[in-house]
Amino acid sequence: MSSSKYQFIHNIIPHLSPSQKGQGRANVNIALAKYWGKRDIELNLPTNSSLSISLPGLGTETTIQWIDNSKDTITLNDQPCKPEQPFAARLSHFLEPFRPDPQGGFEIKTHNSVPTAAGLASSASGYAALVLALNDCFQWQLDLKSLSLLARLGSGSASRSVYDGFAIWHQGQQQDGMDSFAEKIDQAWSNLKIGLLEIDISEKPIGSTQGMQQTVNHCELYQAWPQKAEKDVVTLQSAIANQDFTLLGTTAENNALSMHATMLATWPPICYFQPDSIQAMQQVWQLRAQGTEVYFTMDAGPNLKLLFLEKDQQQLKESFPNLKVIHPFSVESETTT
């Protein structure tokens, strides 16, 4: 591990003495202005700020316990993971700087209520839940900003998953990464709905980290992205403050398509679109042309996430029979299908 990462962590955590079995839970989040590109790979520092909304009811629950004279044992959704599996290897690597003793290991049990690695940001809720569980295990009593900083090291978008509702991850300017964390945008929007349209939940052909670095290095159109993304974050903040749904939807859809555009323009090309993604996009555009105000966003995967208002929910469930509707700000906080 590099000294910059070690120093970063020890600037934040007060000690390495575990005191109990810790637990944490966090929701996935969907970026309305995307994170696409790192300026520092070691510290997971982004080239631009991003803005997200949390999906209540979809996320990760994790328990963690320190065991002396043991290796890490990791179970995912009640299935033991072999240490060499990418999921387990990445997790154990992340935990390196948190080990009180090189001879021991962590026992981690994690449950995802979203498919793993299918562009539904399970790594965001996963690393946020893990950091919350570590905070509980070590009884550090860190504030949310510090937890966001730590979660960022596991997965950039995890920095946003320590909050409910809207969150903004500030790009930050410092080399040490201490100013690149997420904050809650303390604003509810009760009639805003999210619809999950699963096109394909199999493993992605190329992971986000590899995809974004290929784009940064091998896409001639990427140079315009960071500034555009930064502008979109400002526009979305204004849309949220004024509950201007048209501004929110147009900005989010254009931001998502612009991110996918940078991928397509990369060599070799990165294309997360599947034929059914295009068909669903066309259906959204057709609905909009017919007067139903619905927008979509897409992450590094083929699935669409629809943005709409409560009044159009029935219409959308008719147009997309498999739509899973999420209520980000209702007291019910339930997923309905």
- Smallest distance, Å, CB 115 to a copy of itself? 21
Judged by beta carbon, residue 193 or residue 260, the one nearer a copy of itself is 260
Write the interaction track for a copy of itself spanning residues 126-155; mark x where CB under 8 A is met and - where it is not. ------------------------------
Pick from 77, 279, 322, 336 the residue near a copy of itself by CB under 8 A.
279
Answer yes or no whether residue 261 interacts with a copy of itself by CB under 8 A.
Answer: yes
- Smallest distance, Å, CB 301 to a copy of itself? 14
Q: Which residue stretch of 129-137, 140-148, 237-245, 266-274 sits at the interface with a copy of itself (rule: CB under 8 A)?
A: 266-274
Judged by beta carbon, residue 91 or residue 280, the one nearer a copy of itself is 280
Characterize the bridge pairing of strands 50-67 and 166-169.
antiparallel
The separation between the first and the last C-alpha atoms of the chain, rounded to the nearest angstrom, is 45
- Smallest distance, Å, CB 85 to a copy of itself? 24
- Smallest distance, Å, CB 299 to a copy of itself? 15
Answer yes or no whether residue 269 interacts with a copy of itself by CB under 8 A.
Answer: yes
Pick from 13, 201, 285, 292 the residue near a copy of itself by CB under 8 A.
285
Q: Which residue stretch of 59-67, 85-93, 219-227, 329-337 sits at the interface with a copy of itself (rule: CB under 8 A)?
A: 219-227
Answer yes or no whether residue 283 interacts with a copy of itself by CB under 8 A.
Answer: no
- For the beta carbon of residue 123, count every other beta carbon within 10 angstroms: 24
Q: How far apart are CA 191 and CA 128, in angstroms?
A: 27
Q: Which residue stretch of 28-36, 170-178, 206-214, 267-275 sits at the interface with a copy of itself (rule: CB under 8 A)?
A: 267-275
- Smallest distance, Å, CB 296 to a copy of itself? 10
Answer yes or no whether residue 241 interacts with a copy of itself by CB under 8 A.
Answer: no
Pick from 15, 20, 217, 267 the residue near a copy of itself by CB under 8 A.
267
Residues that bind a copy of itself (CB under 8 A): 220-225, 227-228, 231, 250, 253-254, 257-258, 260-262, 264-265, 267, 269, 271, 273-279, 281-282, 285
